[in-house]
Chain A
Amino acid sequence: MVETEDFRKDFPLLRQQMNGRPIVYLDNGATTQKPESMIRAMCGYYGGCNANPHRGAYALSVEATDIYETARDRVRRFIGAKEAREIIFTKNATEALNLVAYSYGLSNISAGDEIVLTIAEHHSNLVPWQRVAKAKGAALKYIYLEKDGNLSEKDVADKITKKTKLVAITHVSNVLGLVNPVRRVADRAHEAGAVVVVDGSQSVPHIAADVQALGADFFAFSGHKLLAPMGVGVLYGRASLLETMPPFLSGGDMIEYVEEQESTYAELPAKFEAGTQNVGGAAGLTAAIDYLENLTFERVKAVEDDLLAYALPQLRALPWIELYGCDSERDNKTGIITFNVKGVHPHDVSTILDSEGVAIRAGHHCAQPLMKYLGQIATCRASFYFYNTRQDIDRWLDALGKVREVMRIGN
Chain B
Amino acid sequence: MGIEDIYTELIAEESRSTEHRRHLDAPTAVLKGRNPSCGDEIALELRVRDGVVEDAAFTGVGCAISQASTSLMIGLVKGQTAEKAKALAETFLAMIKGEIPEDDPALDELGDAAALQGVAKLPARVKCAALSWHTLTEVLEGKK
Contact = CB atoms under 8 A, between A and B. Distances in A.
A378 B124 contact: no
A347 B12 contact: no
Contacts of B83: none
B4 A406 contact: yes
Interface in A366-408: 368, 371, 377-378, 406-408
Interface string B119-133: 000101100100000
A345 interface: yes
Contact of A345 (B3, B13, B62): B62
A406 B9 CA distance: 8
Contacts of A345: 38, 40, 61-64
Interface residues of A, number: 18
Nearest to B16: A343
Chain B, interface size: which category? 20 to 34
A364 B65 contact: no
Interface string A15-30: 0000000000000000
A406 B39 contact: no
A364 B39 CA distance: 7
Nearest to A345: B63
Contact of A347 (B2, B4, B6, B38): B38
Given A351-B122, A351-B125, A407 B12 contact: yes
A309 interface: no
A351 B122 CA distance: 9
A216 to B, nearest CB: 31
Interface in B35-74: 37-40, 61-65
Interface in A342-358: 344-348, 351-352, 355
Contacts of A193: none
B60 to A, nearest CB: 10
A246 interface: no
B138 to A, nearest CB: 23
Contacts of B12: 406-408
Given A345-B64, A351-B125, A368 B39 contact: yes
A371 B61 CA distance: 15
B119 to A, nearest CB: 10
B39 A377 contact: yes
A218 to B, nearest CB: 29
Contacts of B62: 345
Contacts of B61: 345, 377
A231 interface: no
Interface string B1-24: 011101101001101000000000
A348 B7 contact: yes
B10 to A, nearest CB: 10
Contacts of A364: 38-39
Contacts of A344: 64
A181 interface: no
A363 B63 CA distance: 11
Contacts of A352: 3, 7
B124 A351 contact: yes
A407 B64 contact: yes
Interface in B81-111: none
Nearest to A356: B3
Contact of B7 (A346, A371, A378, A406): A406
A355 B2 CA distance: 8
A362 B6 CA distance: 18
Given A345-B63, A407-B12, A408-B13, A351 B3 contact: yes
Contacts of B9: 408
Contacts of B37: 363
B25 to A, nearest CB: 28
B83 to A, nearest CB: 33
A157 to B, nearest CB: 33
26 contacts: A344-B64, A345-B38, A345-B63, A345-B64, A346-B63, A347-B38, A347-B63, A347-B125, A348-B7, A348-B64, A351-B3, A351-B6, A363-B37, A363-B39, A364-B38, A364-B39, A377-B39, A377-B40, A378-B39, A406-B3, A407-B7, A407-B15, A407-B64, A408-B9, A408-B12, A408-B13
What are the nearest 8 A-B pairs in CB distance? A345-B63, A355-B3, A377-B39, A347-B63, A408-B12, A348-B64, A406-B7, A378-B39
Interface of A: 344-348, 351-352, 355, 362-364, 368, 371, 377-378, 406-408
Given A352-B7, A363-B38, 17 more contacts: A344-B64, A345-B38, A345-B62, A345-B63, A346-B63, A347-B65, A348-B64, A351-B6, A352-B3, A355-B2, A355-B3, A364-B39, A377-B39, A377-B40, A407-B15, A408-B12, A408-B13
